Amino acid sequence: MASPFLETPIEFLKGVGSTRAEVLKKELNIATFGDLLLFFPFRYSDRTKFHRIADIQDDSTYVQLKARLVRIQMAGTAPHQRLVGTIRDESGEMEVIWFQGIKWVLEMLTPQQEYIVFGKPALFNGRWNISHPELEIPSLKPLPLSERVRPIYNSTEKLKSKGLDFKGIGKLVKNLLLNEKFTVPENLTPAILDNLRLLGRQQAFVNIHFPQSPELLKKALTRLKFEELFFIQLRLAKQRSGRLEKHNGHRFLKIGNYVNQFYHHHLSFELTNAQKRVIKEIRADLGSGNQMNRLLQGDVGSGKTLVALMTMLIALDNGYQSCLMAPTEILAKQHFNTITAMLTGLNVTVRLLTGNSKTAGRREIHTGLLSGEVQLLIGTHALLEEKVQFRHLGLVVIDEQHRFGVAQRAKLWEKNVITPHILVMTATPIPRTLAMTLYGDLDTSIIDEMPPGRKSIVTRHLFEPDHGKVFHFIRDKIGEGKQVYMVYPLIKESETLDLKNLVDGYQHVIQEFPAPQYAVSMVHGKMKQQEKDAEMKRFLNRETQIMVATTVIEVGVDIPNATVMVIENAERFGLSQLHQLRGRVGRGGDQSYCLLISSYELSAEARKRIATMVRTTDGFEIAETDLQIRGPGDLQGTQQSGILDLRIADLVKDEKILKYARNVASDIIIEDPHLAKPENDILARHLQQMDRNQQNWGLIS
């Protein structure tokens, strides 16, 4: 089904030629007809709708005005000479400016003529103007539907200098669509097209560029979004079904000594209902004979680690080793410490392996893993090294915290003849739509209940002048024997500035909390691991009352006696980061507090983030809000996945289409797991094409 037409090099398109072909390639990665077809407009303007000059108040979008050119004159002297026009509508006046092509523009324009003015407003000296607008004399006849909606394409300075502003690009696209050989092969089955009343593919492409009507534009968008999401879901459904079909999971049916002993004699508390439910789900997986591939979602402190531990003990009871991989050394160590402590007296051999493990220790671990003597291995990425070989690895737990890419996981699986069971834990809940796409081939368990006795963390938003109050509060809490975190932001661009920020903060804190009455710890990314560990230890042993830190403490640390989290410059933190930080307190039975300190100057987004933190402690709600504010591309962990390079669909706005796509895909795979039926051949071939192109969309086949 390859389409030679769409693979034609772009220089052969009418209106392109070799110079433009080169800039198109360099600037927009457009090398073929197909690439151009996939360069969608980023927005559309309705040529029958007009802004009023007085209403212009931001520079984020293009505006279309209907205004009279009341004046036009040269200003400045060479080389800063420019042409300045004044336009007026019934609401007000503004300037339009040209820096280039002045002679030509002057010839074109007629003073006192009414124009349709189109361009991007910018604020200059406190006033709005538009430079290099597009001017057009309004048509006397009403616009035909097919000309009402006009596509706006992204362009760059380089492209513009070659005559390829959004209008120029539009012309090229038009040339492509009007080419007599223009065809786009369909890639969905007639059944899908009929059932969902989707536009045919060719018609969708035509209408996404040059909508014949606003309705057809909508249909074109729906069709192409569906297509994009559908093939992702189809691939995931096929992978999942393939995995289940192979029936090659270890079958863990036994509940033996390890689990029983631990559960009845070592566990000092009752499991929450959510934990019990999730363990049941996991047991069903482990006993099914299929390989488990499960995502365990649960807020910070909801007791995921415990569930993971129970799962590892089931593996042990069935004679298999387990490993647990954490994203950072601190977290790996902490898992090691908690797990060793919880297993005291159970006679389980647990080892820790990180990048910093000494060679001798490493060797011993390698041998122990091969002989089967090491039963539980905990560590960082170091677990993925070639030398780490198990005698019989039955279970891999990945404490992901949004930090591992999906690709890295595969590496672990490949090591074994029979793929071990996989349990992925994430602490920051993932919004549903994202989970469906990012982890669509995993089954999901959710711990949506906190262990009993946890008090909800009190969160307050304060401003810099409130520092006096904050220190007073801290003094009270320290007086009650509690400990305090004070976190400073990390600015990626300037590590030295970060450090200065932190050190200034530290100076301020020790002035307020002087020795010998108080002791203050400091931890930051520039310190050596040993120094960090030593400081953490002092804090853990209550030798210090205040821990001044950057976000290095974000992941992991579990110190129940610390009940106050102060976050300085809270406006600089992302929502999920704030949530993670807050999760460091409230880990014991005492009332905990999170104080978010910001300056008075807040962007709308920062205000929304802080307000969300104050309003709720529900991680799922926070994750959804985060997705809405930032879009999926910016969420931690999504970048590596590649899955989210969505060209047209939007995981926030297109949830409904996503659900459709998912249902349709899963129905098809249930009926025809290998896409072997003749009617599904068209789908199978498109999937193959996508794999070849190494892209989700891989559209032009």
* Residue 271 in the binding site for ligand ADP (CB under 6 A): yes
CB of 121 to Mg ion, least distance (A): 49
Segment 421 to 460, residues that bind ligand ADP, using CB under 6 A: 427, 451
Which residues does 327 contact at the CB level (< 8 Å), separation at least 6? 380, 399, 400, 401, 403, 404, 555
* Nearest CB to ligand ADP, comparing residues 451 and 525: 451
For 352, the 3-state DSSP assignment is strand
CB 425 within 8 A of CB 308: yes
d(CA 677, CA 683): 10
Using the minimum distance from each CB to ligand ADP, give the nearer residue, 165 or 399: 399
592 binds ligand ADP (CB under 6 A): no
DSSP state of 481: T
H or E element in which residue 124 lies: strand 121-124
CB of 92 to ligand ADP, least distance (A): 57
222, 275, 354, 563: which one binds ligand ADP (CB under 6 A) = 275
Q: Of 87, 100, 99, whose CA–CA distance to 56 is shortest? A: 87
Work out which of 290, 297, 302, 577 binds ligand ADP, going by CB under 6 A: 302
Number of residues binding to Mg ion, judged by CB under 5 A? 1
Nearer to ligand ADP, 20 or 335 (CB): 335
Residue whose CB is less far from Mg ion, 176 or 339: 339
Residue 463 binding result from Mg ion, ligand ADP, none, given CB thresholds of 5 to 8 Å by partner type: none
Contact between 322 and 312 under an 8 Å Cβ cutoff? The reply is yes
- Which CB, 211 or 583, lies closer to Mg ion? 583
Enter the tokens of residue 66. 């209907």
CB of 52 to ligand ADP, least distance (A): 53
Name the token pair of 251. 């079958």
| Interface segment toward Mg ion; rule CB under 5 A; list 230-238, 299-307, 462-470, 575-583 | 299-307
Nearest approach, Cβ of residue 93 and ligand ADP (Å): 60
Find, among 562, 590, 400, the residue nearest to 485 by Cα.
562
306 or 690, CB closer to Mg ion?
306
Q: Which stretch binds Mg ion (CB under 5 A): 39-47, 204-212, 297-305, 519-527?
A: 297-305
Q: Which of residues 18-77 bind ligand ADP (CB under 6 A)?
A: none
Is 153 strand, coil or helix?
coil
* Contacted entry of Mg ion, ligand ADP, none for residue 298, CB cut-off 5 to 8 Å set by kind: ligand ADP
Q: What residue 272 binds from Mg ion, ligand ADP, none (CB within 5 to 8 A, per partner kind)?
A: ligand ADP
Mapping DSSP to helix (H, G, I), strand (E, B) and coil, where does residue 44 land?
strand
Beta bridge partner(s), residue 378: 324, 352
Considering only residues 181 through 240, tell me which ones interact with Mg ion, judged by CB under 5 A: none
Pairing mode, strands 114-119 and 134-136: antiparallel
Helix, strand, or coil (residue 58): coil
Q: Between 223 and 304, whose beta carbon lies closer to ligand ADP?
A: 304
Closest distance to ligand ADP from the beta carbon of 179 (Å): 58
Please state the closest distance from residue 568 (CB atom) to ligand ADP, in A. 24
Choose one: 255-263, 302-310, 316-324, 617-625; the region binding ligand ADP (CB under 6 A): 302-310
Cβ closest to Mg ion, residue 308 vs residue 643: 308
Interacting residues of 232 by C-beta distance below 8 A, sequence separation 6+: 437, 440, 643, 661, 696
Q: What is the residue-wise DSSP string for 354-421?
A: -TT--HHHHHHHHHHHHHT---EEEESGGGGSTT---SSEEEEEEE-TT-S-HHHHHHHHHT-SSPPE
Task: Give the Cα separation of 314 and 286 in Å (integer).
Answer: 9
What number of residues does the chain have?
701
Q: Is 303 an interacting residue with respect to ligand ADP (CB under 6 A)?
A: yes
For residue 618, the minimal CB distance to ligand ADP (Å) is 15
| Pattern 282-301, ligand ADP, x by CB under 6 A | ----------------x-xx
By CB under 6 A, how many residues form the interface with ligand ADP? 14
Helices 619-630, 604-615: crossing angle, 10 deg rounding: 170
Which amino acid is it at 306?
L
> Could you tell me the smallest distance in angstroms from the CB atom of residue 150 to Mg ion?
53
Minimum separation from the CB atom of position 531 to ligand ADP (A)? 25
252 touches 394 (CB < 8 A): yes
Least distance between ligand ADP and beta carbon 263 (Å): 12
**Is residue 375 near ligand ADP by the rule CB under 6 A?**
no
From the list ligand ADP, Mg ion, none, partner contacted by residue 302 (C-beta under 5 to 8 A by kind): ligand ADP
Q: Rule CB under 6 A: say whether 305 interacts with ligand ADP.
A: yes
- Closest approach, Cβ 403 to ligand ADP, in A, equals 15
Residue 74 neighbours by CB distance under 10 Å: 11
Q: Return the residue nearest ligand ADP (CB atom).
A: 303
- Please state whether beta strands 421-426 and 458-463 pair in parallel, antiparallel, or not at all (unpaired): unpaired
Q: Is the Cβ of residue 268 or residue 694 nearer to Mg ion in the bound state?
A: 268
Partner whose binding site includes residue 275, from Mg ion, ligand ADP, none (CB under 5 to 8 Å by kind)? ligand ADP
Q: What distance in Å separates the CA atoms of residue 559 and residue 584, rounded to the nearest whole number?
A: 7
CB of 309 vs Mg ion, minimal distance in Å: 11
Minimum Å gap between C-beta 538 and Mg ion is 22
What amino acid is encoded at 656 in this protein? K
Task: Give whole-number Cα distances, 199 to 88, 216, 218, 664, in Å.
Answer: 42, 9, 10, 16
Of 102-110, 196-204, 232-240, 304-312, the segment contacting Mg ion by CB under 5 A is: 304-312
Taking the complex as a whole, how short is the minimal distance between the CB of residue 337 and Mg ion, in angstroms? 12
Angle, vertex CA 699, rays to CA 159 and CA 694, nearest 5 = 95
Instruction: Give the list of residues 6+ apart from residue 484 with CB closer than 8 angstroms, or none.
Output: 474, 477, 478, 545, 546, 547, 562, 563, 564, 565, 566
**Residue 240 binding: pick among Mg ion, ligand ADP, none (C-beta 5-8 Å cut-off by kind):** none
Ordered strands of the 546-549 beta sheet: 458-463, 593-598, 562-567, 483-487, 546-549, 520-523
In the bound state with Mg ion, the residue whose beta carbon lies nearer, of 233 and 305, is 305
Instruction: Verify binding: residue 304, ligand ADP, rule CB under 6 A.
Output: yes
Q: Which does 117 bind (CB under 5 to 8 A by kind): Mg ion, ligand ADP, none?
A: none
The residue within the footprint of ligand ADP, chosen from 64, 272, 433, 666 (CB under 6 A), is: 272
Q: For the CB of residue 428, give the shortest distance to Mg ion in the complex, in Å.
A: 11
**Measured between alpha carbons, how far is 391 from 416 in angstroms, rounded to an integer?**
10
Which residue, 4 or 452, has its beta carbon nearer to Mg ion? 452
Query: Which option in ligand ADP, Mg ion, none does residue 301 bind, with CB closer than 5 to 8 A by kind?
Result: ligand ADP
Report CA dihedral (557, 560, 564, 565) to the nearest 10 degrees.
20
**In the complex, minimum distance from the CB of residue 593 to Mg ion, in angstroms, rounded to a whole number:** 21
CB-based burial of residue 611 (10 Å sphere; 0-12 exposed, 13-18 middle, 19+ buried)?
middle
What residue ranges bind Mg ion (CB under 5 A)? Answer: 305
What residue ranges bind ligand ADP (CB under 6 A)? Answer: 269, 271-272, 275, 298, 300-306, 427, 451
